Amino acid sequence: MNMSKYDLNNFEQLTKTINELKDTPQYQTEIEGLLNVYPQCFGYFQILMKIMSPEAFLSVVELQISRSSYCRQTWETYLSFAENSEDKETFSTDTLAALYKAALSNIGSEWLSGSLWVRYFDLLSEYDLDYSGGPSKCFFELGRRMKFII
C-alpha cells in the first residue's frame, strides 16, 4: 500500500479518486485501503456493506472493530447485521448476547448508546437469558442513565 497516497494532506484527492472509481474492480480495494488507515470513515464502511457479500462484509466488520472498538456506528451496524442474519448457527441467541456485551463494554458509556442498551435487555428478556456475566459496568451504566431520566 502506498502510504503517501493515504496521507491526510491528500485525503480530499483520495476520496475524489475513490468516488471516480465507482463501478470498477478497484473501487472496493481502494475503500478497504482507506479504511485501513482511517477506520472512522464510516460512510465508506457503509458503502462496503452494500457492495460486498455477507461473508466478506463480516470479516471487514470484525477488522473494523479490532481497529476502532469505540466506534458506536460500527457496533450498531454489526449488531443489526447479526440480528437480521439468516445464519442462526453463526449468530445464535447466545452469540448475539455476547456481541452486545462486547459492544456495551466498549461503547456503553456513550450517551447515544441508549438504543443498544434497550435492544440488549430486550434480547435478554425475550429469550430469558441470564443477566450475569455481562460487563461489570453494565448495570452501573444503566443505573447512571436512570438518574438522568428520573
Pair 18, 79 in one domain: no
**Residue 94: φ, ψ to 5°:** -65, -40
Grid cell, residue 37, equals: 488507515
pLDDT at 30 over 80: yes
Q: Which of 39, 68, 97 is the last residue of a domain?
A: 68
Domain carrying residue 14: 1-68
Q: What is the pLDDT of residues 74-90, one digit of tens each?
A: 899 889 989 988 888 88
Pair 74, 144 in one domain: yes
Burial pattern 30-65, b for ≥16 Cβ within 10 A else e, equals bbebbbebbbeebebbebbbeebeeeebbebbeebb
Flag whether the pTM goes above 0.85.
no
Pair 74, 139 in one domain: yes
> Looking at residues 86-113, what average pLDDT do you find?
89
What is the tally of structural domains in the chain? Answer: 2
CA geometry: angle 77, 53, 122, nearest 5 deg: 30
